Structure 1
């Protein structure tokens, strides 16, 4: 499995920890930044992650910012991206199972790190159920 990860300064701490966690599990991860905790503009890092996932260079993506909203809005501008803002493991599972989400967006300021890590584990292990959900997913892109 290949994972693209990125975010902004408000998601920097979790991005660093999750990147290391996934690498320790033997998962290939590319960090698209930021590479320091100083203030940045999240679209500069979100667009490359979204492009990499949309182009199938990576299986899934992880985006982390303070609220999760900015990264989700930006990623969802890409036609082949279904970025899901999640704040618990049930949402992370359903995002994959029912919506075939290919990027999880995590709000660092609103979830503790253990929960963020659990959401990542859940998101990466869940599988799209297809069936009736495929018909709906087919209608998402404009």
Structure 2
């Protein structure tokens, strides 16, 4: 499995530790930056990782910023991406099983290395269940192709 990883300055330290841990397990990982703790703009790294996943160059993506919120929001603007912000096993498992998430966003402010490493492991090992969930994922993906409407029928 090929993994793309990226972070802004707030997620830099945790990203560096995750990168080393994933490589030590023999996984193929590409670091899309940032490469220092100097202030940066998280959308740049979210776009790089999400774009690489969306284009099929990588199987999954991992993003880290202070809270994970900005990264997940930015990544989800990339066509074909289903980025999930998660902080516990259950969230990660369900977002893979039910939503076929292809990018995991995490908040460095709230996770230490063992926690983050475990969440990434769950993210990489959990399979999408398909079935009734495929219909829902298809509906999510269809939203990318629809213009915003004034009326939003339920």
TM-score (norm 2): 0.90
- Report the TM-score, using the length of structure 1 for normalisation: 0.98
Distance in structure 1 (CA, Å) of the matches to 2:89 and 2:136: 22
Unaligned runs of 5+ in 2: 144-154
Determine the structure 1 residue equivalent to 2:103: 103
Partner of 1:65: 65
Q: Is the 8 A contact 2:83 2:105 kept in 1?
A: yes
Deviations along 1:68-94, one digit per CA (max 9) or x if unpaired, are 000000000012000000011111111
Cα deviation, residue 44, structure 1: 1.3
| Counterpart check, 1:25 vs 2:28 | no
SS at match of 1:6: strand
Q: How many residues align?
A: 142
Query: Residues of 2 paired with 1:111 and 1:22: CA distance?
Result: 16
**Equivalent-residue separation in structure 1 for 2:29 and 2:114 (angstroms):** 19
TM-fit CA distance, 1:127: 0.2
Matches within 5 A, 1:1-142: 1-141=1-141, 142=143
Q: Which consecutive residues of structure 1, in runs of 5 or more, have no partner in the other structure?
A: none
Give the deviation of 1:27 after TM superposition: 0.4
